Structure 1
Amino acid sequence: MKDSTVVFALSASHDLAQEICDILEIPLGKCTVHHFADGEILVELGESVRGKDVFFVQSTNRPVNDNLMELLIGIDACKRASARSINCVIPYFGYARQDRKAKPRQPISSKLVATMLERAGANRVITMDLHAAQIQGYFDIPADDINTLTLISEYLKSKPGLNLEDVVVVSPDHGGTVRARRLADRLGAPVAIIDKRRPKPNVAVAMNLLGDVDGKVAVVIDDMVDTAGTLTSGINMLYEKGAREVIAACAHGVLSGPAIERLKNSKLTEFIVTNTIDQSENSKLYNEMTVLSVAPLAAAAIEAVELNESLSTALNDAVTGEFVHKVCQSDENQA
Structure 2
Amino acid sequence: MKLVTGNSNRALAEAIADYLKLPLADCTVKRFADQEINVQLHENVRGEDVYILQSTSTPADGNLMELLILTDTLRRSSARRITAVIPYFGYARQDRRATGRTPISAKLVANMIAGAGVHRVMTLDLHTDQIQGFFDIPTDNLYSAPVMARDIKERYDIGNLMVVSPDVGGVARARAIAKRIGTDLAIVDKRRPRPGVSEVMNVIGDVSGKSCLLIDDIVDSGGTLINAADALLKAGAREVSAYITHGVLSEGACERIGASKFKELVVTDSICETQAQRQAANIRRITIAPLLGEALARTARDESVSSLFN
Q: Same fold (TM over 0.5)?
A: yes
Task: Look up the match of 2:144.
Answer: 148
Match of 1:112 in 2: 108
Match of 2:230? Answer: 236
Superposed CA deviations along residues 8-41 of structure 1, whole A, max 9, x for unmatched, are 1110121111111111111111111111221210
8 A contact 2:208–2:238 mirrored in 1: yes
| 2:34 corresponding residue in structure 1 | 38
Q: Which residue number in structure 2 is paired with residue 327 of structure 1?
A: none
Specify the alignment match of 2:207 in structure 1.
213
Match of 1:227 among 221, 230, 233: 221
Match of 1:131 among 98, 103, 127: 127
Q: Deviations over 1:69-118 (max 9, x none)?
A: 00000000000000001110000000001111111121111111111011
The alignment status of 1:296 with 2:287, answered yes or no, reads no
Greater shift in the superposed pair: 273-282 or 118-127: 273-282
- The aligned counterpart of 2:91 is 95
CA contact (8 A) 2:143 2:309 kept: no
Asked whether 1:9 is paired with 2:8, we answer no
Question: Which residue among 188, 196, 211 is the counterpart of 1:194?
Answer: 188
Q: Which stretches of structure 1, 4 residues or more, deviate above 4 A after TM superposition?
A: none
The CA deviation at 1:126 is 0.2
Which secondary structure state, in structure 1, belongs to the residue aligned with residue 130 of structure 2? Answer: helix
Deviation for aligned residue 1:280: 5.0
**1:51 counterpart (32, 47, 52):** 47
Report whether the alignment pairs 1:278 with 2:296.
no
The match for 1:326 is: none
Distance 2:40 2:128 in 1: 33
Residues of 2 paired with 1:200 and 1:44: CA distance?
Answer: 43
Counterpart residue identity of residue 297, structure 2: E
For 1:249-264, list aligned pairs within 5 A: 249-264=243-258
Distance 1:286 1:31 in 2: 33
Q: Secondary structure at the match of 1:12?
A: coil
Distance 2:278 2:95 in 1: 33
Letter in 1 for 2:73: A
Pairwise CA distance, 1:257: 2.0
Letter in 2 for 1:149: A
SS of the residue corresponding to residue 183 of structure 1 reads helix
User: d(CA) in 2 for partners of 1:302 and 1:103?
Assistant: 38
CA displacement 1:204-252 (0-9 Å, x = unmatched): 0112111111110000011110000101011111111111111111100
- Matched to 2:178, the amino acid is A
Query: Is the partner of 2:8 in helix, strand or coil?
Result: helix
Residue number in structure 1 paired with 2:18: 22
Amino acid at match of 1:177: V
Q: Which amino acid aligns with 1:39?
A: Q
Residues matched between the structures, number: 310
Hey, what's the Cα distance between the residues in 2 that align with 1:72 and 1:139?
Answer: 15
Q: CA RMSD in A?
A: 1.1
1:175 lines up with 2:165 in the alignment: no
Quick one: which amino acid aligns to residue 301 of structure 2?
L
Task: Give the % identical residues.
Answer: 47
Give structure 1 stretches of 5+ with no counterpart: 318-335
* AA at the equivalent of 1:105: R
Once the two structures are TM-superposed, the CA of residue 283 in structure 1 deviates from its matched residue by 3.3
Alpha-carbon deviation of 1:43?
Answer: 1.3
SS in 2 for 1:158: helix
Q: Which amino acid aligns with 1:46?
A: H
TM-score, length of structure 1 as denominator length: 0.91
For the 8 Å contact 2:186–2:203, the answer to whether it is kept is yes
Task: Please give the alpha-carbon distance, in whole angstroms, between the structure 1 residues aligned to 2:259 and 2:283.
Answer: 13
Partner of 1:331: none
TM-score (norm 2): 0.98
2-structure distance, mates of 1:225, 1:20: 24
